[in-house]
Structure 1
């Protein structure tokens, strides 16, 4: 009994005639007609760029001007970006277009304008703002896993039966849109440094250290194989050390000094602290604050995308790795003691051949890769 509609855009006054038929529950009916005039509108094209949006970096953003209107039966749209970091629109000449928000470090605002043109060439414009916030990716590397699987084989990562896999989440899932400084698999981002800590080309063959552009840490690159332990050079990757560290010259609990010239080329001892002191004395890569990495720092180098290979670290970035032992291990010390509640005689190692960790007796030997903050 009540009818309503929105007044359309009109170029001229337009007469309408309505016919109303009322039918009762016994089949009786009556019809009447009603005439009305719709006036022409001041605007014949109205552009509608849609509501303002809030998104995160790397999100897929849709710009939708399909709620625009024109007096003619058809119209077209053309989008352009007005402000902010330049984005690539999928179809800038369609009313609905998309883009992926770029990699940013701080909050940013983008603005876009759509021009709507009717079939007679008349236009109208409207704009929309898109506020972009950085994703909470943290200051740590992802796992290096870039593939998804079901129970038996590799599959596309968007699967309702096997959702939220490692490759779909975190920094690695946006690797193709990350603004990387250097090189590395997926989201790993490394820059090579020479002996003075100056940057060198990504394809340089001679380099002494590596800067991790995600964590900001600088890592030791081992020198080439130079002989048979202990007849090796100081930073030969084959050298092994027991866990012995000091804090303010006081030995940490549970540490054990390895005998001199046993598993390393040191006339003092083959404990970690002696190695740190010798490297710092060199002002190696422009730093004297070299140390043993924490558990989390060392784990950040492991690339689990290399599972099934002998070494789970990028050997183009970290060359001169020691040979994998007959038992299949490449154990590297962390600085963290394993708290067993009694002797504190074990510290955590991370095995670069399988990515596992282990509470390892401090009196045994393992490899070491030093790190420092910038």
Structure 2
């Protein structure tokens, strides 16, 4: 037993000496330093490079913003390191970011470096989008497996788009024809939007109106409006007011806005406007506010104007008008930029004349020579005269070559403008050849060409303009003896004093047509061979 214990002790001591190197002679010629490393060369490890695998950024509201993603080494670089990178789309479109490729350099001593990339802002409602930044072809480093690509998520900063009507109530006259209802997206979107809708109300489809737009509505990506087209029909039934109720339902790729129901009111049968007279005659003057027992039964006691002199936003006394923009949309009564006016009592739509413009004082060859002295782009004095071709001071010859409606004489065509492309004379003008709305056939100052130009250019979105009948133009004349009330809206600015000729020919004299003198409202005959003022109208005839 003692011999066995002694052997164990001896073995343990020898093992300890061997592990510690003590007492071991390592006469190794390849290890002159005696360090026991087994080699004279110091090994340097190659660092590993990795890129952030995921990052979230928010697109800018506008313009472009530069962001960065970090490449990290496992240890500081002991020599310059380069690696290639490429920025590519995953779900983003090419307009949302700048795709590029380049080489990243990491200098000696650095452990990180940034790759820059550019994100572009827009005003579209869109899904969050993604791009990839991939590193490759490293020199002086290895790329760590599964850490060679960064997925960048670009969060959309635009509000979600919602669909609504631009108003929740509108009046439309029976028999007034084409009518557009606009549906507006609050924000443009990169997605096509589908908006279902339903129609209800007291009006009868096919009898009171026709629906020309099928459900659902489609709003093309990148746009923000779509129209529902209706035709408001006339009938012979004596009836009260009716309604068309349009209701939007939940859209696809958008939300449902607050104003999702629109009620179109069709008043009772179309009637005539009253005269506008709201004061009374007392034997001396016409400006009394109260009825006079000595002169009973006066105009101001009866009809729509009997409400008195209270100023109304939609017109004086019993008149009711709406202002329309260039596309036929109803705009606020306080707006100063309107192109047409709708009469809510009659359903007629009237053009609004433009400001007075300068016209040349010579015609024929003298006018052509006069025009040739100017350069259109530098000193031509009539550019505004062409642009504002519906100016209030312009006049036109009465011309109608339809034998069934011209009363036996077609009137006068007027003379051809002396210089082609410069449609101007001493009494009227049309758009110049350098303007987008130039009409080559508009080469004379007559009523037929004027109405054709109104329809060719779809003034206020309509293409059924015409010259009014005498009963129609008198329906908008205010025959009051007093001036405008304080705060009263002027629905027919730029109305000059003078004769406005109509489409109604004289039954007795074939060379005359009925006109109205706006200064006093007098109806009289005007010569077809003499130029007069005109105001175009569209909609059902009274």
TM-score band (shorter)?
A: 0.5 to 0.7
How far apart, CA to CA, are the structure 1 residues paired with 2:333 and 2:275? 22
CA change 1:321–1:161 in 2 (3 A) is: closer
Aligned-pair distance for 1:138?
6.3
1:333 paired with 2:501, answer yes
Aligned-pair distance for 1:236?
1.1
What's the secondary structure of 1:273's corresponding residue? helix
What's the counterpart of residue 494 of structure 2?
320
CA change 1:209–1:229 in 2 (3 A) is: farther
Q: How does 1:50-65 map to 2 (within 5 A)?
A: none
Provide Cα deviations, 1:264-302, integer angstroms capped at 9, x if missing partner: 115522110011111110011011110011011000111
How far apart, CA to CA, are the structure 2 residues paired with 1:362 and 1:285? 28
How far apart, CA to CA, are the structure 2 residues paired with 1:209 and 1:222? 9
What's the counterpart of residue 205 of structure 2?
none
CA change 1:207–1:308 in 2 (3 A) is: closer
What's the counterpart of residue 428 of structure 2?
264
What's the counterpart of residue 463 of structure 2?
288
What's the counterpart of residue 366 of structure 1?
532
What's the counterpart of residue 106 of structure 1?
240
Q: Choose from 300, 303, 306 the match for 1:173.
A: 306
How far apart, CA to CA, are the structure 1 residues paired with 2:297 and 2:339? 39
Aligned-pair distance for 1:249?
10
**C-alpha contact (below 8 Å) 1:137/1:170 kept by paired residues:** no
Q: Choose from 398, 414, 421 the match for 1:243.
A: 398
**C-alpha contact (below 8 Å) 2:314/2:489 kept by paired residues:** no
**C-alpha contact (below 8 Å) 1:263/1:270 kept by paired residues:** yes
Provide Cα deviations, 1:214-244, integer angstroms capped at 9, x if missing partner: 1100000112233226852321111101111
CA change 1:211–1:353 in 2 (3 A) is: same
What's the secondary structure of 1:278's corresponding residue? helix
**C-alpha contact (below 8 Å) 2:280/2:288 kept by paired residues:** yes
Number of equivalenced pairs: 229
Q: How does 1:18-33 map to 2 (within 5 A)?
A: none
What's the secondary structure of 2:331's corresponding residue? coil
CA change 1:229–1:316 in 2 (3 A) is: farther
**C-alpha contact (below 8 Å) 2:278/2:308 kept by paired residues:** no
Over the aligned positions, Cα root-mean-square deviation in angstroms equals 3.2
Aligned-pair distance for 1:156?
5.3
Aligned-pair distance for 1:106?
3.2
Q: Choose from 280, 285, 296 the match for 1:163.
A: 296
How far apart, CA to CA, are the structure 2 residues paired with 1:214 and 1:241? 29
Q: Choose from 152, 155, 163 the match for 2:284.
A: 152
1:300 paired with 2:475, answer yes
1:346 paired with 2:512, answer yes
1:223 paired with 2:361, answer no
Could you state the TM-score of these two structures normalised by the residue count of structure 1?
0.55
Provide Cα deviations, 1:44-85, integer angstroms capped at 9, x if missing partner: xxxxxxxxxxxxxxxxxxxxxxxxxxxxxxxxxxxxxxxxxx
Q: After alignment, is 147-156 or 244-253 more displaced? A: 244-253
**C-alpha contact (below 8 Å) 1:302/1:352 kept by paired residues:** yes
**C-alpha contact (below 8 Å) 2:397/2:413 kept by paired residues:** yes
How far apart, CA to CA, are the structure 1 residues paired with 2:289 and 2:392? 39
Aligned-pair distance for 1:315?
7.9
Aligned-pair distance for 1:354?
1.1
Provide Cα deviations, 1:109-137, integer angstroms capped at 9, x if missing partner: xxxxxxxxxxxxxxxxxxxxxxxxxxx99
**C-alpha contact (below 8 Å) 1:150/1:162 kept by paired residues:** yes
Q: Choose from 328, 334, 345 the match for 1:203.
A: 334
**C-alpha contact (below 8 Å) 1:346/1:360 kept by paired residues:** yes
Considering only CA atoms, is the larger Rg found in Structure 1 or Structure 2?
2
CA change 1:249–1:166 in 2 (3 A) is: closer
What's the secondary structure of 2:514's corresponding residue? strand
Unaligned residue ranges in structure 1 (runs of 5+): 1-104, 108-135, 325-329
**C-alpha contact (below 8 Å) 1:157/1:165 kept by paired residues:** no
Q: Choose from 142, 145, 148 the match for 2:274.
A: 142
CA change 1:235–1:366 in 2 (3 A) is: same
How far apart, CA to CA, are the structure 1 residues paired with 2:483 and 2:343? 24
How far apart, CA to CA, are the structure 2 residues paired with 1:284 and 1:148? 40
How far apart, CA to CA, are the structure 1 residues paired with 2:507 and 2:406? 17
1:184 paired with 2:358, answer no
Aligned-pair distance for 1:247?
3.3
